[in-house]
Amino acid sequence: MPDLSNLDADLGQARDLFGGGRAAHRTVHLRPGADLAGFRIALRGLVAGNIPPECVTWSAGDAPSLFGAGAFEESAPPVALPKAVAGLIPMVVPHRDPERYALLYGLVWRVLHGERHLPEIASDPLVHRLGGMRKAIGRDLHKMHAFLRFRRTESLEGERFVAWFEPDHHILEAAAPFFVDRFRSLAWSILTPEGSAHWDGTALRFGPPGDRAALPEGDGFEAGWRDYYESTFNPARTNLKAMRAEMPKKYWHNLPETAAIPGLVRAAAGRTAQMIEREPQMPAKRDPVRAVAAMADQDPKTLAALNAIIRRSEPLVPGATQAVLGEGPPGATIAFVGEQPGDQEDRQGRPFVGPAGQVLMRAMEEAGLSRADSYLTNAVKHFKFEERGKRRIHQKPTAGEVSHYRWWLDRELDFVAPRLVVALGATAVLALTGKAIPITRARGPFRFDRRDTPFQGFITVHPSYLLRLPDEAKAEAYAAFVADLRRVADLGRELSG
């Protein structure tokens, strides 16, 4: 639907619409139905002319020109409206109430003349009435989305699906985009007593009222849908009042499944009695020991199988492009565990390829460590970020998010079986120990005991920490980081010897 928070019309359009005369009273003629565009133009012109609501007569119907009287000498400026008002207008314009335009203009006038928070006062009679009209349109849209049924037909242009619907309000133009999104690849038409909507796969157009007699009598899909409806009908839960509340009877003649309802209702009592009299059957017994064994057997048996599970899993926090898996040879002597992928890692699908990864690679090379001989992974497998303009800014994972991924990390390290695990930063330490341990206090060799047996580890800073330091402190911090990695290299040689 159009956004009415910034109403625009050019000077020539305003003069055409408000041409002639200086009388204080204005008569506004809009086209039949939901003339949202016409109301936008009228609203801007009336506000620019400072015309109070009591001096405006609204008329929705055929007219020789959009505006019968009124003139404005200057181009009307944009009208800035609160979001609540801008969102309300397109949900009220389709209503059948002939006073809808006058009520909306009355609301806008009051909001622009000192009652900025009027939409929040539900007890105000005007707000209450417009709110009821918005709910009525919402219900009508819901019914159209739920109870419209297409039938397949053939034309000179090829296959087309046609539907008939009788809305309570002028909602066709508001409802049509829903069906475009849902049936974008099909050619279809929606016919109503007031107008029609047509989609050819590329463009949506609106036309004159349709003729229900033009619809085909039915198609194979309708027969299949009716059979499905009959097979799922539960006679023991028949509730006519509830059925009519959810699916009002006025829609029944357009729905294929409703033709079966009278017969299903008549037979409901007999079918329920048969269900009660039928001898109950005991459910098939299951061996709980075998069931538990089968569940346990579903655990991944290899690193490749584990990675396949991680790759298929949705990110805990939506937004990531893909899961970033660990990289390196199983059986590597040293495994490095970082925090989570960054922007470049998310795009390339590889760990430690962004700015922090480049710092780590440079430091490893200076310390005598090789990426090819090491295993590199992260505690969290998906990129968590906040969008700022075109940039995706890293966000630190929460303890709950770290816990969510911890099982994957444990199994990953089980399969890789490194002799030494290096925790890069506090998040990696939390994932490996289940505890928040300050890096400054624990930096250096560390015994991780979170898994079944303790294993040798080493704690140091994450390379992204070095990127955040002021320039005068970077050199010293980087030297300390390289010194840590030299100790890691020495420990690795001792453990592998």
**Positive or negative: CA dihedral 192, 194, 198, 203:** negative
Q: Are 184 and 201 in contact (CB under 8 A)?
A: yes
Q: State the Cα angle at 144 between 140 and 87, rounded to 5°.
A: 50
> What is residue 355's three-state secondary structure?
helix
The whole-number pLDDT of residue 147 equals 85
Query: Residue 449 is encoded by which pair of tokens?
Result: 């005991």
Exposure string of 147-167, with b = 16+ CB inside 10 Å and e = fewer, is bbbbbbeeeeeeebbbbbbeb
d(CA 258, CA 97): 31
The whole-number pLDDT of residue 264 equals 72
Beta strand 56-60 with 151-155 is unpaired
Exposure string of 436-459, with b = 16+ CB inside 10 Å and e = fewer, is ebebeebbeebebeeeeeebbbbb
**Model confidence over 142-163: pLDDT tens digits?**
999 988 888 888 766 778 888 8
d(CA 396, CA 391): 16
Q: Residue 424 has what DSSP assignment?
A: E
The whole-number pLDDT of residue 63 equals 47
Chain position carrying tokens 């007219």: 63
d(CA 481, CA 475): 10
**Model confidence over 451-492: pLDDT tens digits?**
566 789 999 999 999 999 999 999 999 999 999 999 999 999
Query: Residue 458 is encoded by which pair of tokens?
Result: 């080493």
**Model confidence over 102-157: pLDDT tens digits?**
999 999 999 999 999 999 999 999 999 999 999 999 999 999 998 888 888 876 67
**Quick count: other Cβ atoms within 10 Å of Cβ 132?**
12
Beta bridge partners, 80, equal 6
Average pLDDT, stretch 354-359?
96
CA nearest 336: which of 434, 461, 450, 451? Answer: 461
At 65, is the pLDDT very low, low, confident or very high (cuts 50, 70, 90)?
A: very low
Query: Residue 322 is encoded by which pair of tokens?
Result: 């893909």
Q: Chain-centre distance of CA 22, in angstroms?
A: 50
Average pLDDT, stretch 408-422?
94
Q: Are 302 and 415 in contact (CB under 8 A)?
A: yes
The whole-number pLDDT of residue 223 equals 62
Is 3.90.950.10 the CATH number for 303-496? no
pTM of the model: 0.48
The whole-number pLDDT of residue 252 equals 64
* Chain length of the chain: 497
Burial class (CB in 10 A: 0-12, 13-18, 19+), 383: buried
CA nearest 374: which of 430, 420, 323? Answer: 420
**Model confidence over 20-38: pLDDT tens digits?**
344 468 899 999 999 999 8
CA nearest 133: which of 90, 184, 77, 166? Answer: 90
Domain ranges of the chain: 11-141, 148-214, 220-275, 303-496
DSSP per-residue letters across 38-104: HHHHHHHHHHHTT--GGGEEEEES--SSSBSS---SSPPPP-B--HHHHHHHHHHTTS--TTHHHHH
Q: Phi and psi dihedrals of 241, rounded to 5?
A: -65, -45
CA nearest 363: which of 444, 462, 443? Answer: 462
The whole-number pLDDT of residue 427 equals 95
Interhelix angle 100-112/83-92, rounded to 10 degrees, is 170
> What is residue 225's three-state secondary structure?
helix
